[in-house]
Amino acid sequence: MNVLILGSGAREHALARACANSPVIGSLFVAPGNPGCATVAQTVALSLTDNAKVTAFCRAESIDLVVVGPEGPLVSGLGDDLLAAGVSCFGPTKGAAKLEGSKVYAKDFCREFGIPTGAYRGFRDPDEAKAYIHQLGAPIVVKADGLAGGKGVVVANTLEEAEKGVDALLLAALGSEGLTIVVEEFLEGEEVSFFALCDGVTAVPFASAQDHKRVGDGDTGPNTGGMGAYSPASVMTPALIQRVMREVVAPTLRGMNERGTPFRGALFAGLMVNADGPKVIEFNVRFGDPEAEVILPRLQDDLLPLLLACASGTLPSNAPRFYSDAALAVVMAARGYPGEPVRGSRIRGIEDAETVPGVLVFHGGTREVDGAILADGGRVLAVTALGSDVAEAQRRAYRAVDRINWPEGFYRRDIGWRGIARKAK
């Protein structure tokens, strides 16, 4: 089977590694990829915003399946163009991708189909948004309506912070059409990333993970695209997984079909779990990053047939099998992130880090120049370790991180703290 993976981050490196290990893989391409992807696949200089060129490449290389990593191409309709050209795509059509492309759409969808979520309203007018903030009180959450790479979120502890968030996000959205920000109820509890595989009709649970969004130790500082993760999420008991499938995933699939936009691909529900059960914070329509870097190394079954079954509407009803090991990833980021990262610094010691038992280093924002690996983005590396439990995976991951020589990088030292604390009780 010839496969094209689209994207350039650590998620795509993890997807490429999993697909490269499949016994049914033929030619494997990643576009545009990164130096890590290039160790397991052929990288291709394709623009993810040029649907015609992506489709032409698929025809020229007899691609059997396109796996779309990031959300942008899906929201812009790449899946539709590929399907029209007769190319199978793991990822939803433009209509179904609105679950991620618009926070207001997703919230309205939850309300229509009885999916548990928090109170909310969408706004363009800052004064109306601020009036609603005073009505709900703080803490409160302000979000950009559209795609923001995980950084268009303000979790405000005071009314003043919330008002500043409204002004900042509306200013960033000037010129866009429709509703531009969402003001949401702050939900207490434990945040979880839950993934289900869907083929438009059938959905099966895939895996869970817990991301660490804040930039600093102790969950401090601004939100990021994710500073690390571990899997499985310790809060996700078998009973809770069944409840999420029943109360979140099943009505989502039903609602998507009723709207004429069947959902195929990875349904990623960002959940808040508390004594009342799970509530949807947001939907994503693809694998997460850094969640993919901890979920895919744990997968026991062959990934590639699962992806193809989602794309072709032939997904079996039994859930995929995972190893019992836990996995934990520490994201190493470039100085300046989540603002403007410093680019071009050299990273040494990646090979040494991978000599630690159970460790894999996934490339995110890197480039190679004359054999040297340079930082070329915000989240630059994801250092993943497997272990018998989260504590062992954490020890191995940080042992590997300490072997990487990159003075211009930084990372959190407490990834996995919730899972370790829960086991210690």
Amino acid at 417: W
Lowest mean pLDDT among 35-39, 85-89, 418-422: 418-422
Q: Is the pLDDT of residue 175 over 60?
A: no
128 pLDDT more than 70: yes
**Chain position carrying tokens 């094209």:** 4
> pLDDT tier at 179 (50, 70, 90 boundaries)?
low
* Distance between CA atoms of residues 296 and 216, nearest Å: 26
The pLDDT value given to residue 424? 65
Written as six digits, the tokens of 314 are 């032939």
> Would the pLDDT of 62 be above 80?
yes
**DSSP one-letter string for 29-49:** EEEE--TTGGGTSEE----TT
pLDDT at 31 exceeding the cut of 80:
yes
Q: What share of the chain is helix, strand, coil (3-state, %, to 5)?
A: 35, 30, 35
Distance between the two ends of the chain, CA-based, in angstroms? Answer: 47
| Per-residue confidence (pLDDT) for residue 154, from 0 to 100 | 86
Coil, strand or helix at 97: helix
Q: What average pLDDT does the segment 124-139 reach? A: 91
Return the domain boundaries, the chain: 3-93, 119-185, 190-312, 327-424
> In the chain, what percentage of residues exceed pLDDT 70?
97
- The CATH fold of domain 190-312: D-amino Acid Aminotransferase; Chain A, domain 1 (3.30.470)
Tokens of 24: 């049914």
Pairing of strands 88-90, 65-68: parallel
Phi/psi at 3 (nearest 5 deg)?
A: -130, 140
Q: Report which of residues 165 and 354 the model is more confident about.
A: 354
Q: What is the pTM of this model?
A: 0.94
Q: Is residue 411 pLDDT above 90, yes or no?
A: yes
Whether residue 189 contacts residue 251, with contact meaning beta carbons closer than 8 Å, is answered with no
Residue 316 has pLDDT above 70, yes or no: yes
Mean pLDDT of all residues in the chain?
94
Is it the case that residue 172 has pLDDT exceeding 70? no
- The string of DSSP codes covering 161-200 is HHHHHHHHHHHHTTT--S--EEEEEPPPSEEEEEEEEEES
CATH architecture of 3-93: 3-Layer(aba) Sandwich (3.40)
Tell me if 327 sits within 8 A of 230, measured CB to CB: yes
Nearest 5°: phi and psi at 251? -65, -25
Tens of pLDDT, residue by residue over 92-115, are 999 999 999 999 899 999 999 999
At residue 383, the pLDDT reads 98
Other beta carbons within 10 angstroms of residue 189's beta carbon come to 16
pLDDT of residue 125: 87
CA–CA dist 112, 96 (Å, integer): 15
Q: Put the strands of the sheet holding 28-32 in their side by side order.
A: 42-43, 28-32, 3-7, 65-68, 88-90
DSSP 59: H
Q: How many of the other CB atoms lie within 10 Å of CB of 41?
A: 25
Q: What is the pLDDT of residue 302?
A: 98
Distance (Å, whole) CA 69 – CA 285: 10
**Contacts with 115 (C-beta within 8 Å, 6 or more apart), sequence order:** 109, 247, 248, 251, 252, 255, 280
Of 384, 385, 379, 386, the residue nearest 411 (C-alpha): 379
Of 283, 209, 206, give the one whose Cα is nearest residue 245: 206
Ramachandran assignment for 200, one of left (phi > 0), alpha (psi -120 to 50 degrees), beta (any other): left
DSSP code per residue over 119-148: -EEEES-HHHHHHHHHHH-SSEEEEESS--
pLDDT, residue 149, reads 63
Multiple choice CATH, 327-424, 3.30.750.24, 3.20.20.80, 3.40.50.970, 3.90.600.10: 3.90.600.10
Q: How far apart are CA 301 and CA 172, in angstroms?
A: 43
Instruction: Classify residue 105 by burial, with Cβ atoms within 10 Å: 0-12, 13-18, 19+.
Output: middle
**What CATH number labels 119-185?**
3.30.1490.20
**Of 133, 149, 185, residue with least CA distance to 288:** 149
pLDDT at position 6 over 90? yes
The string of DSSP codes covering 260-315 is: T---EEEEEEEEEEETTEEEEEEEESS--TTHHHHHGGGB-S-HHHHHHHHHHT--
pLDDT tens, residue by residue, 205-263 = 999 999 999 999 999 998 899 999 999 999 999 999 999 999 999 999 999 999 999 99
Share of the chain above pLDDT 90, in %: 87
Task: Give residue-wise pLDDT tens across range 271-305.
Answer: 999 999 999 999 999 999 999 999 999 999 999 99
Does the pLDDT of residue 178 top 80, yes or no?
Answer: no
State the pLDDT at residue 118.
92
pLDDT category of residue 425 using cuts at 50, 70 and 90: low
